[in-house]
Amino acid sequence: MLNTKEYFNQLDTTLAVQELDNETSAAIQGGYNLQLFDDYDAKTGLLGSFNKGGKANLIADNKISSIKIKGGQWRFYEHPNFNQGKPGYELTLGKGTWHLRGNALNNQISSFQKVG
């Protein structure tokens, strides 16, 4: 007789592993360079973890209130596609924890990229 509980536990585990991309996997293991949060405290409300590159169009568009950077220089933009073709705010940050309350880009970031 098929042990359905064991079968479905294995299936759930397999699906979870297959859904992780390299960026997410590294972040789970503590290997991120950048984390974005929707809460001011940079501890709760994790929106995403990244190691390199950038995102021209964020799923978390206009939700970021704090940023944690472990490595590199990162530039954040008010508009998608790195403000291409539009005047807009941009902010370059390095290592540290950054709270955006009172900053023009609080809940306004639409794209970002690693610049150094």
Report the pLDDT value the prediction gives residue 57, as an integer from 0 to 100. 80
If asked whether residues 37 and 2 sit together in one domain, one would say no
Q: What are phi and psi of 79, to 5 degrees?
A: -115, 160
Q: Which of 36, 17, 35, 19 is nearest to 27 (CA)?
A: 35
Q: What are phi and psi of 51, to 5 degrees?
A: -115, -30
If asked whether residues 38 and 84 sit together in one domain, one would say yes
Report the pLDDT value the prediction gives residue 7, as an integer from 0 to 100. 58
Question: In the numeric block, which tokens belong to residue 8?
Answer: 């479905």
If asked whether residues 22 and 46 sit together in one domain, one would say no
If asked whether residues 16 and 39 sit together in one domain, one would say no
Question: In the numeric block, which tokens belong to residue 26?
Answer: 């590294």
- Whether the model clears a pTM of 0.85, i.e. scores above it, the answer is no
More confident residue, 12 or 99: 99
Distance CA 90, CA 76 (A): 5
Q: Which of 10, 32, 7 is nearest to 21 (CA)?
A: 32
98-106: average pLDDT: 94
